[in-house]
């Protein structure tokens, strides 16, 4: 009695490495109105998809975001996939301040009150005279105006939730 052995063909199994899914920005990043998030390490043979609430919102190594939420970066390469997430907060820009004065022309040693007519909570106001910052902050300012302090007054509104968000 003989032993009968049959040898199959050789099958080669190749192991692909998982792609790297890493986001350049820190978790909890806060943008004013919108911003761009980027993949930290990229590979030309990989594909990149950005998702918000399981819906694809962009493809490529970066995406412009305009909604708060948890964004997922999904990287696919050679059939392997890796994901990572980032929490994004979008802060709306404050509305443009409307500046009003009780009097726009005054006499020496009299005062006028200059104020933000549409002041809102959650916003700080920085005042400027002739383009130079003055020390008063808040939604209203009383300024003694003499001939030496006449000028053009303006204000910058800044969100207290995101100091980079101003008008």
Q: Which one is predicted more confidently, 46 or 167?
A: 46
For residues 124 and 126, what is the distance between their CA atoms, to the nearest angstrom?
7
- Interval 69-80: pLDDT, tens: 999 999 999 999
Question: Is 60 exceeded by the pLDDT of residue 145?
Answer: no
pLDDT in tens, 95-137: 998 888 887 887 777 778 888 888 888 888 888 889 998 876 5
Please tell me which residue, 64 or 103, carries the higher pLDDT value: 64
Secondary structure (DSSP) of 97-163: P-EEES-SS--TTEEEEEEETT--TTEEEEEEETTEEEEEESSEEEEEE-TTT---EEEEEEESS-T
What does the pLDDT average to over 140-159?
Answer: 65
pLDDT for the residue numbered 139 = 58
State yes or no: pLDDT of 142 exceeds 80: no
Pairing of the two strands 80-91 and 99-101: unpaired
Q: Which one, of 84, 97, 68, lies nearest residue 162 by Cα?
A: 68
Chain centre distance of CA 58: 17
Rg for the chain, CA atoms, rounded: 30
**What is the model's pTM?**
0.72
Q: Which two tokens stand for residue 34?
A: 């919108």
pLDDT of residue 1: 66
């Amino acid at each position: 009695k003989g032993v009968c052995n049959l040898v199959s063909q050789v099958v080669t199994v190749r192991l692909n490495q998982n792609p790297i899914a890493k986001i350049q920005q820190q978790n909890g990043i806060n943008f004013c109105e919108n911003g761009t998030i980027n993949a930290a390490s990229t590979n030309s043979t990989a594909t990149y998809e950005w998702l918000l609430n399981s819906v694809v919102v962009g493809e490529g190594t970066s995406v412009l975001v305009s909604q708060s939420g948890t964004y997922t970066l999904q990287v696919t390469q050679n059939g392997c996939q890796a994901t990572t997430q980032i929490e994004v907060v979008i802060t709306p820009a404050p509305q443009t301040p409307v500046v009003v004065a009780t009097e726009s022309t005054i006499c020496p040693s009299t005062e006028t009150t200059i104020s933000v007519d549409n002041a809102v909570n959650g916003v700080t106001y920085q005042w400027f005279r002739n383009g130079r910052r003055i020390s008063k902050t808040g939604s209203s300012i009383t300024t003694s105006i003499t001939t030496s302090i006449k000028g053009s007054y303006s204000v910058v509104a800044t969100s207290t939730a995101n100091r980079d968000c101003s008008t």
